[in-house]
Structure 1
């Protein structure tokens, strides 16, 4: 009888270690989850929180788990390369094999799945330009107008898709419309056009301007991306737009807010692409799929350890 009790205790201890202790890869499921997020002005945060059913946390840090870490898109991606017990989220255009991108509701985060509308965590890539006549020069304004027109071409669609975002449907080529923008035929190598806003869009924006510059007189594209909240501020806010940080084109990885639209002109606003948001973890993390409820429970503190999440998936 005593031997049976001992064997039973050993079996129970083994099961407990399997459930809460290290796995074969050395991942300790009993470790606390380190939660990474973006700041409250981030379009990525807005899209992520809305996508997991936690919209109230978009602009309210007090609703998040205690001890969360705020970082930008690049910092979160870098952190997941070293923080074995961390979880964060980034733009699909940032994702590569250095971290593990998690499936969402059983669907892999791929361009194809965003286009066929099976991947649920997606958000728009938007742009905003300065008001008509409110540019450093007529040349800059004409170049911005040409660039916006370029965004609607198949030439730009190829660049957008190759940069990890998802282009909107288009049929016109740049050759079809370039005659409408004679500014692109002159030497613009001394002209600077300033781009900013969402850092999630920076990779796509830089690829687009690099492709467009040779088509538009080789103007200088100055990129300074500090977050979606600055797209409006640096192109339309009277207190900021004409300072040294003012921009000619601002990008947002979310829809512009009611107050932003009210303070600007809808004729100067448009969408250039779709993007997916991906929950990411360290490559040694055994988790491969999460649901909206799982992520909400992580971010609101219901799940405190990785074992909490893994057990919920069983």
Structure 2
């Protein structure tokens, strides 16, 4: 009897564990033959409002449209799962067979699959030649009165040395200013903003501090709008933005400098058989016009 109770307890415990895992939001339903079930709802994964990646994505795909009064309206479906960083988008899509999201191309890894857009692969080469349409700039944002150490760091980013780090991290170089020589100024720099720009900025900071050991640089990850606002109010010295500045922002005396170009990869789970969508199909998914995978036409 004791042995039977033990078996029942183990069986019940295993059942409870399976039930708890199924309740974590991981949609892994399969068709009757064990394959991808196209009748399942699409799990749309989006970035938060204020994200430069979201701003660029909705503009480039037509998810953002102008209303009758000429105001821009983001038509991302209200059913979308909202994530506050690139890393969370990646893990969410990787853990859900029926999810689709978008990330910086430089952050792409093998935990997910990037779709071709209009038959064109998301790659550095195709962004350079203009055939991959979902691309945007990585900007740093500054205003007048920048410190000597902050200017020295910017000079490094835009130099041949800094741009080599850009390309080594799978982003696209912009024209560089040649070899870098530091004046070794002393002081603190606060860099804040876009979570898409943050990974490559970490590498740039690490390399610059090896050259100028007098520099103390603090990096704060958030989103593009926060980085721009923080630069405007003096909370940070250099903002990071993965979108262009708005007219209302440049009117505040802010200046954007492109440090790299990046593509936006539309990603799905590795178990999803989809390989290639048009921009219109992506738009239909993210506006909710196509609610199930079988609706993507």
TM-score, normalised to structure 2's length?
A: 0.83
Deviation at 1:307, TM superposition (A): 1.0
Once residues 159 and 295 of structure 2 are traced to their aligned partners in structure 1, the CA distance between those partners, rounded to angstroms, is 48
The alignment status of 1:152 with 2:164, answered yes or no, reads: no
Once residues 56 and 265 of structure 1 are traced to their aligned partners in structure 2, the CA distance between those partners, rounded to angstroms, is 26
Query: Match for residue 231 of structure 1?
Result: 227
| C-alpha contact (below 8 Å) 2:45/2:93 kept by paired residues | no
The alignment status of 1:272 with 2:268, answered yes or no, reads: no
Once residues 91 and 25 of structure 1 are traced to their aligned partners in structure 2, the CA distance between those partners, rounded to angstroms, is 32
| C-alpha contact (below 8 Å) 1:202/1:225 kept by paired residues | yes
The alignment status of 1:120 with 2:120, answered yes or no, reads: no
SS of the residue aligned with 2:65? helix
Query: Match for residue 190 of structure 2?
Result: 194
Instruction: Mark the CA change 1:90 to 1:25 in structure 2 (over 3 Å): closer, same or farther.
Output: farther
| C-alpha contact (below 8 Å) 1:196/1:249 kept by paired residues | yes
Which structure's residues are more often helix, by fraction? 1
**Where does the alignment leave 5 or more consecutive residues of structure 2 unmatched?**
1-29
| C-alpha contact (below 8 Å) 1:99/1:283 kept by paired residues | yes
| C-alpha contact (below 8 Å) 1:102/1:280 kept by paired residues | yes
Query: Match for residue 14 of structure 1?
Result: none
Could you list the per-position Cα deviations for residues 36-56 of structure 1 after superposition, in whole angstroms to 9, with x for gaps in the alignment? 111221111121112112222
TM-score, normalised to structure 1's length?
A: 0.79
| C-alpha contact (below 8 Å) 2:149/2:188 kept by paired residues | no
Query: Match for residue 161 of structure 1?
Result: 167
Could you list the per-position Cα deviations for residues 267-293 of structure 1 after superposition, in whole angstroms to 9, with x for gaps in the alignment? xx3111110001101110000111110
Query: Match for residue 79 of structure 2?
Result: 67
Query: Match for residue 50 of structure 2?
Result: 41
1:274-289 to structure 2, matched below 5 A, reads 274-289=261-276
| C-alpha contact (below 8 Å) 1:131/1:236 kept by paired residues | no
Instruction: Mark the CA change 1:299 to 1:39 in structure 2 (over 3 Å): closer, same or farther.
Output: same
Q: CA RMSD in A?
A: 2.0
| C-alpha contact (below 8 Å) 2:142/2:254 kept by paired residues | no
Which structure's residues are more often strand, by fraction? 2
Once residues 32 and 266 of structure 2 are traced to their aligned partners in structure 1, the CA distance between those partners, rounded to angstroms, is 22
Instruction: Mark the CA change 1:212 to 1:23 in structure 2 (over 3 Å): closer, same or farther.
Output: farther
**Where does the alignment leave 5 or more consecutive residues of structure 1 unmatched?**
1-20, 134-140
| C-alpha contact (below 8 Å) 1:198/1:225 kept by paired residues | yes
| C-alpha contact (below 8 Å) 1:40/1:59 kept by paired residues | no
Instruction: Mark the CA change 1:113 to 1:24 in structure 2 (over 3 Å): closer, same or farther.
Output: farther
Query: Match for residue 27 of structure 1?
Result: 36
Query: Match for residue 3 of structure 1?
Result: none
Deviation at 1:168, TM superposition (A): 0.3
